[in-house]
Structure 1
Amino acid sequence: MAPASTSHLRKKEYGLEAERKAFFGRRSAHKLHPTQQKLADQLLPKVKLELGEGPLPLTQVFEQPAPRNFIEIGYGGGEHLARQARENRDANYIGCEPFIGGIGKMLAAIDDDQLKNVKLFTDDALHLLKALPQASFDGAYLLYPDPWPKKRHHKRRFINSVTLSALARILKPGAEFRVATDIEDYATWALGQVLRHDEFYWPQAEAGSWHQPWAGWQSTRYEEKARKEGRDISFYFSFIRR
């Protein structure tokens, strides 16, 4: 008799993590223009985070320690990440983005504004979350993530129990996890995942207040694109680490 398949045993043992796919698809669509390519060759090696076999202490991440540390997952064109780093030079930031076009734009911002408080991670953010120190970050951002609308692709959505646990591990108690999306289905998905997770809570708010941007918010290019495509309503969630 042929041996029974063990795939169901692996799924049972590892759960969502065994099923999870990277939250991104292809890494690039177009080549960088010459200026960005020069920055990728010369600047990226200086600001890029590389993982080893074990934990990644903050002393190996940032040359200068800071009283506050933040991480943005999927920074896109880098507008929000660059502005935060520019306006808060006493804080340190990590940006996670696998797409070469977004990396090129962020490198240009780092170079133009001489941002010494930003490091970039160019692979799956979950790997980085697992390596960073526990309770070491003061906030996290997930702004307009890929909604992966097809049901068979939902495993690629960034927010799930595995990534939430990894994120909760590195956030300090009381730290804020901000999520913005213009896709109602993704908003419902995100809210459901967080509300079922023991390590985050959603502060009670007036009905409809989640459509109001955070104080000081400036639209990203993805938000502007959504509005041009007729998606005028966005969701702005603030989840708190218990």
Structure 2
Amino acid sequence: MSEFDPNPPRRNFYGRRHGKTLRQSQKGYLSEDLGTLRPRGITVQDNPERAPVEPRTIFGDDRPVWLEVGFGGGEHMVHMAARYPEVGVIGCEPFINGVAMLLGKIRAAGVENVSVHPGDARDLMDVFPENSVDKAFLNYPDPWPKARHHRRRFVTPEHLIPLARVMKPGAEFRVASDIPDYIRQTREEVPPAGFDLIHDSAEPWDDWLSTRYEQKALREGRVPHYVTFRRKG
């Protein structure tokens, strides 16, 4: 695996980067597959000048590009890539155990229209040009339940304004969570960043795949909620 630092010192990062010890197979996925699937020019080490990186060059053609912020174990990302082979799906996830899980799922599914950034989504949004992302997903993000930590959530201007900048006018931004207060903050903070709320429901999208985090929420009696926004413009 190529050496890089997915957590550049110029900004704060909150959350885990490593969990339990990886299995040998997962270490193999990281050493054998991540170097090919990782997009170039995203990290500060690869691109210290922060020169623009056109996401379509990652896939070598002019296909639509979708972005999944924090793909967790990768179920949804691989599902969408398999269902929509004409689209390029870029996922970002700082938690290396999740990255290893995703790489195993990519091998098993045989999908090729994917790219994996094992780091902060803000690295991507720093260098992607305006109006370059066709759809974005935020599924079961870290809830940061303590009130003093709510500013660490993704649905804050620090993340939403850069996301809006890179999304095309009319592009969808989907958010799924089982935490009522997270949904409340999502409803409040996403529209001022440049989005219209177009769907707000306890019913999932037609092409939704229930993730491991959602199944855990259901077992523990929490109710999932699904919110869709459209980029203004």
Q: TM-score range by the shorter chain?
A: 0.7 to 0.9
Asked if structure 2 preserves the Cα contact closer than 8 Å seen for 1:66 and 1:92, the reply is no
Unaligned runs of 5+ in 2: 1-10
Asked if structure 1 preserves the Cα contact closer than 8 Å seen for 2:56 and 2:63, the reply is no
| 1:55 corresponds to | 52
| 1:120 corresponds to | 116
Question: What is the CA-CA distance between 1:162 and the residue it aligns to?
Answer: 2.4
TM-score (norm 1): 0.84
Counterpart CA distance in 1 for 2:217 and 2:119 is 26
Question: What is the CA-CA distance between 1:121 and the residue it aligns to?
Answer: 0.9
| 1:217 corresponds to | 208
Counterpart CA distance in 1 for 2:58 and 2:129 is 11
Asked if structure 1 preserves the Cα contact closer than 8 Å seen for 2:22 and 2:97, the reply is yes
Counterpart CA distance in 2 for 1:31 and 1:110 is 21
Mapping for residues 1-242 of structure 1, pairs under 5 Å: 21-22=12-13, 24-50=14-40, 51=42, 52=47, 53=49, 54-58=51-55, 60-62=57-59, 64-197=60-193, 199-203=194-198, 210-231=201-222, 233-242=223-232
Asked if structure 1 preserves the Cα contact closer than 8 Å seen for 2:67 and 2:136, the reply is yes
Counterpart CA distance in 2 for 1:105 and 1:111 is 10
Query: SS of 2:77's equivalent?
Result: helix
Counterpart CA distance in 1 for 2:104 and 2:62 is 23
Deviations 1:23-45 (A, max 9, x none): x4121111211111111001111
AA aligned opposite 1:211: A
AA aligned opposite 2:126: K
Asked if structure 1 preserves the Cα contact closer than 8 Å seen for 2:55 and 2:65, the reply is no
Counting matched residue pairs gives 215
Unaligned runs of 5+ in 1: 1-19
Query: SS of 1:179's equivalent?
Result: strand
Query: SS of 1:196's equivalent?
Result: helix
CA RMSD of aligned residues (A): 1.5
| 1:3 corresponds to | none
Counterpart CA distance in 2 for 1:106 and 1:32 is 13
Counterpart CA distance in 2 for 1:40 and 1:75 is 16
Query: SS of 2:210's equivalent?
Result: coil
Question: What is the CA-CA distance between 1:60 and the residue it aligns to?
Answer: 4.3
Asked if structure 2 preserves the Cα contact closer than 8 Å seen for 1:195 and 1:201, the reply is yes
Query: Which structure has the highest helix share of the two?
Result: 1
Question: What is the CA-CA distance between 1:57 and the residue it aligns to?
Answer: 2.1
Question: What is the CA-CA distance between 1:90 and the residue it aligns to?
Answer: 1.1
